[in-house]
Amino acid sequence: MKILTSGQQLDLGDSLRTYVEEHLSAAVSKYMDNAIEAQVVFRKEGGMYHCLCTVHVGAGIDMQAEAEGAEIYVSFDQALDKLAKQVRRDKRKRRNHHARLPHAGDVA
Q: Look at residue 28 and tell me if it is in a domain.
A: yes
- Which segments of 31-95 are extended strands (E)? 37-45, 48-58, 61-69
In the chain, the number of structural domains is 1
Q: Per residue in 32-86, pLDDT tens?
A: 777 789 999 999 999 999 999 999 887 788 899 999 999 999 999 999 999 999 9
pTM over 0.85: no
Size (the chain), residues? 108
Residue-range definition of the domain harbouring residue 16? 2-94
Collect contacts of 10-14 with beta carbons under 8 A, ≥24 apart: 10/42, 10/43, 10/44, 12/42
CATH of the domain at 10: 3.30.160.100
Give the strand order in the sheet containing 48-58. 2-8, 37-45, 48-58, 61-69
pLDDT of residue 101: 59
